[in-house]
A and B are shown apart, each in its own frame.
Chain A
Amino acid sequence: MAASVLIACGLNEQKLPGFVHISEESNVDGSFLISCILGQRLRISNAGTLLVCLQHHYQHYFNAGMRLGYNSNIFLGKTLNVIDVLSDMARQGLNSKWLRSPNGLTLTEQLAEDIRAQLANNYANRSSYTILIDNLSILFNLGASKLQVQQFCQALADLAKEHENLTVITKLSNSDIHQLTDNNVAKLGHVRIQVLRLKSGVFREVDGKLLIERVLDEGRYACEESRKEVLYKVNDRNVKIFNPGEIGVKV
C-alpha cells in the first residue's frame, strides 16, 4: 500500500536514522507520509511509537491508517502512544494546559516534558522507538517563537543521540514561509524530505513532488549528499510513486 513511497524515502527499514525532517510547502498536503511511516512502524513487532497530534486528531490517523490497511487502535496503549494536543484543547477549551502553561512552562517546554515522560515509560520495553510530530507549524500558530521551536527540535535531536534506536520524525507545514526554521531543523538530522507542489499547476495523475535529501557521509571538510526526486499520487487506498518523465500528458 505504502511500501513504494517508503522505499523511495529510504524509510522502509527497521532501523531508521536518528532525525528525519519533512518539509511541506504551502498548498500541498504531505500528511500521507505520516500515515505511511506510522503504519510501517506499527507493523514491526515490539517497536514503540509516540504520535504527537498537532495537525489532526488521532481519529484522522486511525481512519487514514484503515485506508492503508492497518488498524492503529489495536496497538493503541501497547506499542502506540498518543499525545493528542488538539483533542485536549477541544475538551478543556482555553483552560487547556497547552494554552495556559500552568507550571510556568512554555508550550514547547510542556510538550518536550510530556514526550520525555512517555519515553521514560515506554522506551525500555521496546526494541526501537519512533517519535512522530505532526506538525511544528501549529506550535507557531499557538504562539511559540522561532527560538522556542528551534530549541524544542534541538532537545528532540539530543534525545535521539542519547538513546539508541530512537528516531524523531518532524513535519513542518508552510516551509516556504518558515524557511529559516525549516532549514535549521533539517540540519539537525541526516534525512530531509521535501513535499513540493507541481510548479506548472495541477495534474490529475500526479499530486506533487518528493525531494529526498540524505547525508551519506559528513566529513570534516566535505559532506556527501544524495538527492532524489520522485513524483507521487495519493489514491484512496495507496500512494503511487513515479520517476520524473515516467508519466506525461496523453493526447
Chain B
Amino acid sequence: MTSFRKRTVQKPIRGTRTSPHTAQVITSSGNPSLDVILGGGLPIGSICLIEEDRFMTHAKVLAKYFLAEGVLSKQEIFLGSLDDLPAEMLRRLPKPLTDEEVELEQRQEQLASEQPADKNGLRIAFRYGDLPLVNSEQAGHKIGHHFNLMEHMDSMMLYYAQTTVWDDSYKEHDIVVQEDNISNSSNSLDQTATIVADASPAAVDATPPPAAAGENASTVAVDVEIEADAESTAVISSSNNNNNNNDNNTASTTPGTTIAMPATQPPPPPPPPAAAVAPPTAVAPPPPAPSAMEPHFFYNPRYGRLLNDVQQLLRDESFVPGTNTQQKNLCRVCLTSLGSPLWYDDHFAGDLLKFLTILRASVRSCTAVCFITMPMHLIAKYDTSLVPKIRQLVDYSIELESFAGSERETHPAFKEYSGLLHLHKMSALNTLAVHMPETTDLAFKLRRKKFVIEKLHLPPELQETSEKSAAADIMATPNCGSIVSGNSNVSMDF
C-alpha cells in the first residue's frame, strides 16, 4: 500500500482568494484602500459595519463599491434598505475601469503629484533625490477591481447580475401593477418587484409611483388585499436570477395576497430580441407558509421579514460551505441605513440586537459577507449603551467622520481630506490575532472618480501662528492611538 494521495485542490469561489497572512478566504470590499486596511479584504462570513457620516454620502459610496464588486465578480447580491430605493441604488453603481485605464490614471496622478514642486521652483535636496516618493494612499497589491464614480455601470452588466432587493414592499398596501413592455425597456432594474400570474408577464411594481413612471410602461392599479396580520405576509423581492432560474418564472403570490387582475389581460409579449437589454421576468422564491414563517420573535415585523429573506437566500446550496458543487458562489448582503429612524419603535434596541445576532449566525455559517451601514450618531442619541453592543456583534466597525458642516471643513490642516476614518473594531475571525493596519490615524477623501483612504498627514507648516494653535486644539494630543482614546489626560499604561 502506498502513502501517495492525490491532492484535491478545491476550486476557489469567484472573486475570492486565500489571504497569505491569515490563510482565510477573503473577498474584496470593492475599494482597494479599504481592502488594505482590512488586511486584504473581508473574510468570508464576516460582517463589516460602516458608521455613517452625518450626511450619509460617504457610507453610501462604500456600499456602492461593495455592490459593484459583487456584480463584477458575478456574485449573488442582496440589497436591503428602508431609507433608499434599492433598485435606484443598483442603477447608480460605479463603472469598472479596465487595466489600461487604471494604469493611465495612476500615471496621471504621479505626474500631478510631481508637478507642483517644479512650478514653485522648489527642489529636493540631493540626498533625498533618490528616495521613492511617499505614497500615503492605502493601496496594496491588486485585489478586486477599480471603479469610476463619475460614470454608472453598464446596464448589460446589471442585467446579468444576480440581485435580490428588499425595501419592505408590504409597507405599501396599494401595489401598482406595471405592464412590462419588455422590448422597450432599456434597464433590467426598472422592475423592482415582479409577480407573474398564470404565466402572463404582468408585473407588480412595489416602488413608489414616481420611480415607476415613464419608461414607456403603462401602469394599472390593482387592489391587493392583504390579510390583517401583516406579519404573516411575505416580502416580494425582486430578483434578477436570469442566468439559471428561467424555469422559476412561475406564479408566486404570497398566501395572504390576492391580486385582482383585469379581465382583459394583454397578450404575452413576444420574447425579447437577443440585443434587447431587458430582463426576463424573474421572481423571488415563494415565501414559506405564514404560520411557519415568523414566530413573533420581533416586535417590529420588518426585522422578521428582512431576516427571512436573507436566510432564505443564504440557504441556497451554492452558499453552503464545504460543498463541491460547480455553482459555488458568494453572497454579498448589503443593508444600508439599518437602524435609521424609519426602524424606530418602542422595542427598537432589543429588536436591533436580536436581528444582528441572528444575522451574524446566518452569515457565519455560509459563504457570504455582509456590509451594513448605520447612522450610529443617531443611535447614540437614542441609547448610548447601544453603540458598543452593536459593535460587539460585528467583525469590523469603521466610523466615517465627515468634515462637512463642521469647522474642520475649512480648516487648513484638513483641507486635503473629506473626513477622518476611525477603526473601532477589527476582530479575529477564525484566527487568533487580529490584523492591524500600519497606522490607525486615517483620513479619507472623496475625489472626483474615487474614494481614497490615506494616512493622516498634517501639512508641513501652517502659515500663521493662530492657525497652528487652532490645529493643535482640533487635533487630539499626539499620544499613541490618539484617535481611539479621546481622553488625553490619561497616562500611558505601559
When chains A and B are docked, how far (Å) is the Cα of A37 from the Cα of B365?
24
Taking a contact as CB atoms under 8 Å apart, the answer to whether A27 and B433 are in contact is: no
Whole-angstrom distance from the CB of B432 to the nearest CB of chain A? 4
Taking a contact as CB atoms under 8 Å apart, the answer to whether B292 and A95 are in contact is: yes
Contacting residues of chain B (420-470) with chain A, CB-CB under 8 angstroms: 424-425, 427-434, 436, 440
Selected from A29, A68, A99, A239, the residue in CB contact (under 8 A) with B427 is: A29
Contacting residues of chain A (29-83) with chain B, CB-CB under 8 angstroms: 29, 31-32, 35, 56-57, 59-60, 63-64, 67-68
List the B side residues contacting A67 at CB < 8 Å: 431-433
List the B side residues contacting A89 at CB < 8 Å: 357-358, 361-362
Taking a contact as CB atoms under 8 Å apart, the answer to whether B425 and A32 are in contact is: no
Taking a contact as CB atoms under 8 Å apart, the answer to whether B428 and A234 are in contact is: yes
List the B side residues contacting A177 at CB < 8 Å: 385, 388-389
Interface size on A, residues (CB 8 A): 56
When chains A and B are docked, how far (Å) is the Cα of A178 from the Cα of B115?
57
Asked if A99 meets B295 with Cβ closer than 8 Å, knowing A27-B388, A203-B481, the reply is yes
List the B side residues contacting A142 at CB < 8 Å: 354, 357
Answer yes or no: B366 CB below 8 A from chain A CBs.
yes
Answer yes or no: B304 CB below 8 A from chain A CBs.
yes
Interface size on B, residues (CB 8 A): 52
Answer yes or no: A12 CB below 8 A from chain B CBs.
no
Answer yes or no: B344 CB below 8 A from chain A CBs.
no
Answer yes or no: A93 CB below 8 A from chain B CBs.
yes
Answer yes or no: B492 CB below 8 A from chain A CBs.
yes
Contacting residues of chain A (1-33) with chain B, CB-CB under 8 angstroms: 26-27, 29, 31-32
Contacting residues of chain A (110-142) with chain B, CB-CB under 8 angstroms: 137-138, 140-142
When chains A and B are docked, how far (Å) is the Cα of A200 from the Cα of B431?
26
Answer yes or no: B350 CB below 8 A from chain A CBs.
yes
Taking a contact as CB atoms under 8 Å apart, the answer to whether A138 and B357 are in contact is: yes
Chain B proximity mask over A152-169: 1 for CB below 8 Å, otherwise 0: 000000000000000000
Taking a contact as CB atoms under 8 Å apart, the answer to whether B362 and A90 are in contact is: yes
Taking a contact as CB atoms under 8 Å apart, the answer to whether B494 and A203 are in contact is: yes
When chains A and B are docked, how far (Å) is the Cα of A231 from the Cα of B430?
23
Asked if A236 meets B365 with Cβ closer than 8 Å, knowing A100-B297, A199-B493, A201-B481, the reply is no
Answer yes or no: A148 CB below 8 A from chain B CBs.
no
Stretch from B169-177, B238-246, B324-332, B483-491 that touches the partner: B483-491
When chains A and B are docked, how far (Å) is the Cα of A57 from the Cα of B43?
15
Taking a contact as CB atoms under 8 Å apart, the answer to whether A56 and B364 are in contact is: yes
Taking a contact as CB atoms under 8 Å apart, the answer to whether B492 and A200 are in contact is: yes
Whole-angstrom distance from the CB of B293 to the nearest CB of chain A? 8
Answer yes or no: B480 CB below 8 A from chain A CBs.
yes
Instruction: Supply 11 further A-B pairs (C-beta < 8 A) apart from A94-B294, A204-B436, A231-B494.
Output: A63-B431, A64-B428, A64-B431, A141-B356, A142-B357, A174-B389, A177-B385, A203-B494, A209-B493, A231-B493, A249-B494
Which residues of A come within 8 Å of B, CB atoms? 26-27, 29, 31-32, 35, 56-57, 59-60, 63-64, 67-68, 86-87, 89-91, 93-95, 99-100, 137-138, 140-143, 173-174, 176-177, 198-206, 209, 231, 234-237, 239, 242, 244-245, 247-249
25 contacts between A and B (CB under 8 A): A31-B428, A57-B364, A64-B431, A64-B432, A67-B433, A86-B365, A89-B358, A89-B361, A93-B307, A93-B311, A100-B295, A140-B353, A141-B354, A174-B389, A177-B385, A177-B389, A198-B485, A199-B485, A199-B487, A199-B490, A200-B481, A201-B479, A201-B481, A201-B484, A231-B493
